[in-house]
């Protein structure tokens, strides 16, 4: 079953077409990694799926709900605010730069949306938050504030916060890019564990070995296009497109 179905989407900023006729699906329980050079449209694609950016044309279907379609081929038509809210709750987004509420404790970062968006009772929200913090190895940090945590700890809290709303899909936008190299491993380990649990995930990453380890499929993007896609071995080990080969050469040389 497709949890995300993107069809022929385009996105332009001023005169720059950032996404050019992009189509792909994410199946339930699948990990799909998106790789490519800076400026290829990877993060914009995630932002369009999570409705942080609006598309110019095309269709996006998420968890059997239509976020946007373009019946006349020119003017995109978005779902009602009620459907949009349902879709937002089905997708968890983990940003590069953590985006935690700095004036909230770790615990409150995890419980705030549960209580005010999902209307979860406070006691139940706290129990769920503590179970997620235990999973992330951060139970003892429940009452700390983001500034008291390392970058790796903050990103683990971000992942826990995304999981707190029980999303169908987790989207990661280069989750290790803001971290020192020695902290990268702990975040990759968390995502690997989620992959073992068959969490459906869409991962924009520049970590090629990591993408090969966790992915069911890999998409290579360049200049707003999907240039090549397939299994990790097909794309990362035996690519057929020259642009893919040139991009991967610097990682393998």
SS (H, E, C) 73-133: CCCCEECCHHHHHHHHHHEEEECCCCCCCCCCCHHHHHHHHHHHCCCCCHHHHHHHHHHHH
- Residues contacting 50, CB < 8 A, separation 6+: 88, 91, 93, 171
Answer yes or no: are the C-beta atoms of 219 and 46 closer than 8 Å: no
Each residue of 80-121: pLDDT tens digit? 999 999 999 999 999 888 889 999 999 999 999 999 999 999
Answer yes or no: are the C-beta atoms of 129 and 113 closer than 8 Å: no
Predicted local confidence at residue 253, as pLDDT: 54
How is residue 115 written in tokens? 């209580």
Measured CA to CA, the distance from residue 189 to residue 92 in angstroms comes to 18
How is residue 21 written in tokens? 């006729």
Predicted local confidence at residue 179, as pLDDT: 78
Length of the chain: 253
Angle formed by the axes of helices 151-164 and 106-116, nearest 10° = 20
User: How far lies 44's CA from each of 121, 204, 220, in Å?
Assistant: 35, 11, 14
Tell me which residues of the chain have a pLDDT lower than 50.
none
């Amino acid at each position: 079953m497709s949890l995300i179905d993107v069809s022929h989407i385009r996105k332009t900023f001023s005169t720059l077409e950032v996404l050019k006729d992009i189509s792909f699906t994410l199946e339930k329980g699948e990990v799909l990694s998106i790789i490519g050079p800076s400026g290829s449209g990877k993060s914009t694609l995630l932002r369009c799926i999570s409705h942080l950016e609006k598309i110019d044309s095309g269709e996006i279907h998420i968890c059997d709900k239509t976020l946007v379609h373009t019946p006349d081929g020119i003017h995109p038509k978005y779902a009602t605010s009620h459907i949009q809210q349902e879709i937002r709750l089905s997708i968890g987004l983990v940003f590069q730069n953590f985006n935690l509420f700095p004036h909230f404790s770790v615990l409150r970062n995890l419980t705030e949306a549960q209580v005010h968006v999902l209307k979860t009772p406070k006691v139940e929200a706290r129990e769920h938050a503590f179970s997620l913090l235990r999973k992330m190895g951060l139970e003892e940090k429940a009452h700390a504030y983001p500034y008291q945590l390392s970058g790796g700890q903050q990103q683990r809290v971000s992942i826990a916060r995304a999981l707190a709303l029980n999303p169908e899909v987790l989207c990661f936008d280069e989750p290790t890019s803001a971290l020192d190299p020695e902290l990268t491993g702990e975040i990759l380990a968390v995502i690997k564990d989620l992959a073992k649990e068959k969490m459906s995930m869409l991962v924009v990453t520049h970590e090629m070995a990591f993408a090969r380890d966790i992915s069911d499929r890999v998409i290579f993007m360049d200049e707003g296009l999907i240039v090549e896609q397939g299994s990790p071995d097909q794309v990362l080990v035996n690519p057929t497109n020259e642009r893919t080969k040139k991009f991967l050469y610097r990682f393998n040389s």
